[in-house]
């Protein structure tokens, strides 16, 4: 089955990973800007990162036959540095019209601090002004419920970003409903240690339905598995779900969400 991984940090992965993903049916990836494992010191560090995300990385993905899309932002961890965050937000428009850029992301909260909220709101201002899609990171573990509520509140206090143009990612059992009821898209991250497993993701689909929801591997520099979406496909098959239903979650839904971006050009596999 063909699939799209809508949230995977391929700059942290090897070309061998692209090859393995293709063999399992991956046709496209979308890569949000994220934390590199260290705080970057200057806006120039982000400019170089955005060059990598919009220049070399799509080329490298193409060597394996994978279409690469990306999202730009300064992530919530580095948002504690407000002056730097504002410089990055001011610089993002230089890259917004590049092919493959889908919008602003992954923005959101990490420790639910006031500085994170300030910079989250300023990213939303940019997204509203430039009419970009938004991809949102929700905090991990004990901070997730409160952080998701704060994020939904900040989105709902404004009327210039339609809910269907926002994806709230890393939802779990206790937050999925909150995102779905708000009319947002949501993403489930399949992670070997924290976050969701393929079985828990399948449970959530069975309970909350397959509309406006997708699954991703988040594949990054930590313990993660870029083949987690195929694992989810297998889990759904084992439970007897139809191929059409599985395809909706792993292929049709990301396409539908991304298609709201005017620059999105997707070549469907033969
Ligand atoms: Zn991520």
Q: How confident is the model at residue 61 (pLDDT cuts 50, 70, 90)?
A: very high
Q: How confident is the model at residue 191 (pLDDT cuts 50, 70, 90)?
A: confident
Lowest mean pLDDT among 54-63, 108-117, 189-198: 189-198
User: Which phi-psi region, left, alpha or beta, contains residue 141 (left: φ > 0; alpha: ψ -120 to 50)?
Assistant: left
Block residue for tokens 């990973």: 17
CA 72 – CA 104 distance, rounded (Å): 5
Q: How confident is the model at residue 198 (pLDDT cuts 50, 70, 90)?
A: very high
Question: In this predicted structure, what is the pLDDT of residue 225?
Answer: 93
- State the distance from the centre of ligand 1 to the C-alpha of 33, rounded, in angstroms: 7
pTM more than 0.95: yes
Q: Is residue 264 part of a domain?
A: no
Q: Is residue 266 part of a domain?
A: no
Please calculate the CA angle 60-65-68 and round it to the nearest 5 degrees: 60
| Residue 149: exposure state from Cβ atoms within 10 A (0-12, 13-18, ≥19) | middle
Query: Does 4 score more than 70 pLDDT?
Result: yes
Q: Is residue 144 part of a domain?
A: yes
Q: How confident is the model over 134-151, as pLDDT tens digits?
A: 999 999 878 899 999 999
| Residue 255: exposure state from Cβ atoms within 10 A (0-12, 13-18, ≥19) | middle
Mean pLDDT in residue range 63-67:
98
Supply φ then ψ for residue 32, to 5 degrees: -75, 150
CA 227 – CA 225 distance, rounded (Å): 5
Domain at 7, CATH number: 3.20.20.140
CA 207 – CA 177 distance, rounded (Å): 10
Q: Is residue 243 part of a domain?
A: yes
Mean pLDDT in residue range 174-190:
95
Question: In this predicted structure, what is the pLDDT of residue 194?
Answer: 66
- State the distance from the centre of ligand 1 to the C-alpha of 138, rounded, in angstroms: 10
Q: How confident is the model over 33-57, as pLDDT tens digits?
A: 999 999 999 999 999 999 999 999 9
Query: Does 195 score more than 80 pLDDT?
Result: no
- Percent of the chain at pLDDT > 70 equals 99
- State the distance from the centre of ligand 1 to the C-alpha of 132, rounded, in angstroms: 18
Q: Is residue 263 part of a domain?
A: no
Q: How confident is the model over 25-35, as pLDDT tens digits?
A: 999 999 999 99
- State the distance from the centre of ligand 1 to the C-alpha of 263, rounded, in angstroms: 22
Q: Is residue 270 part of a domain?
A: no
- State the distance from the centre of ligand 1 to the C-alpha of 35, rounded, in angstroms: 8
Q: Which domain holds residue 21?
A: 3-258
- State the distance from the centre of ligand 1 to the C-alpha of 189, rounded, in angstroms: 9
- State the distance from the centre of ligand 1 to the C-alpha of 137, rounded, in angstroms: 7
User: Which phi-psi region, left, alpha or beta, contains residue 212 (left: φ > 0; alpha: ψ -120 to 50)?
Assistant: left
Q: Is residue 171 part of a domain?
A: yes
- State the distance from the centre of ligand 1 to the C-alpha of 9, rounded, in angstroms: 6
Contact yes or no for 162/169 (Cβ under 8 A): no
- State the distance from the centre of ligand 1 to the C-alpha of 30, rounded, in angstroms: 10
The pair of three-digit structure tokens given for residue 70, joined into one six-digit string: 């990306």
The count of C-alpha atoms lying within 13 angstroms of the C-alpha of 144, restricted to the half-sphere facing its C-beta, is 18
The pair of three-digit structure tokens given for residue 48, joined into one six-digit string: 């170089």
- State the distance from the centre of ligand 1 to the C-alpha of 240, rounded, in angstroms: 30
Give me the number of domains the chain comprises.
1
Q: Is residue 267 part of a domain?
A: no
| Count, residues in the chain | 270
- State the distance from the centre of ligand 1 to the C-alpha of 34, rounded, in angstroms: 6
- State the distance from the centre of ligand 1 to the C-alpha of 7, rounded, in angstroms: 6
């Amino acid at each position: 089955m063909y699939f799209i991984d809508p949230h995977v940090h391929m700059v942290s992965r090897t070309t061998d990973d692209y090859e393995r993903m293709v063999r399992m049916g991956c046709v496209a990836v979308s890569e949000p800007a994220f934390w590199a494992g260290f705080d970057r010191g200057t806006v120039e560090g982000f400019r170089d990162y955005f060059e990598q995300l919009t220049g070399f990385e799509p080329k490298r993905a193409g060597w394996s036959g994978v279409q690469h899309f990306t999202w730009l932002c300064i992530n919530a961890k580095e948002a504690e540095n407000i002056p730097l965050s504002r410089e990055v937000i001011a610089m993002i428009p230089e890259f917004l019209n590049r092919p493959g850029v889908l919008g602003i992301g992954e923005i959101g909260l990490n420790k639910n601090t006031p500085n994170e909220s300030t910079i989250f709101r300023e990213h939303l201002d940019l997204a509203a002004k430039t009419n970009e899609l938004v991809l949102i990171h929700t905090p991990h573990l004990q901070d997730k419920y409160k952080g998701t509520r704060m994020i939904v509140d900040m989105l709902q206090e404004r009327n210039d970003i339609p809910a269907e143009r926002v994806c709230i990612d890393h939802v779990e059992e206790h937050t999925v409903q909150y995102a779905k009821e708000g009319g947002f898209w949501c993403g489930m991250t399949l992670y070997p240690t924290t976050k969701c497993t393929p079985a828990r993701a399948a449970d959530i689909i069975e309970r909350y339905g397959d509309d406006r929801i997708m699954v991703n591997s988040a594949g990054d520099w930590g313990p993660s598995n870029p083949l987690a979406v195929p694992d989810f496909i297998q889990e759904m098959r084992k439970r007897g779900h139809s191929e059409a239903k599985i395809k909706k979650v792993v292929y049709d839904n990301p396409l539908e969400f991304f298609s709201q971006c005017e620059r999105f050009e997707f070549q469907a596999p033969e």
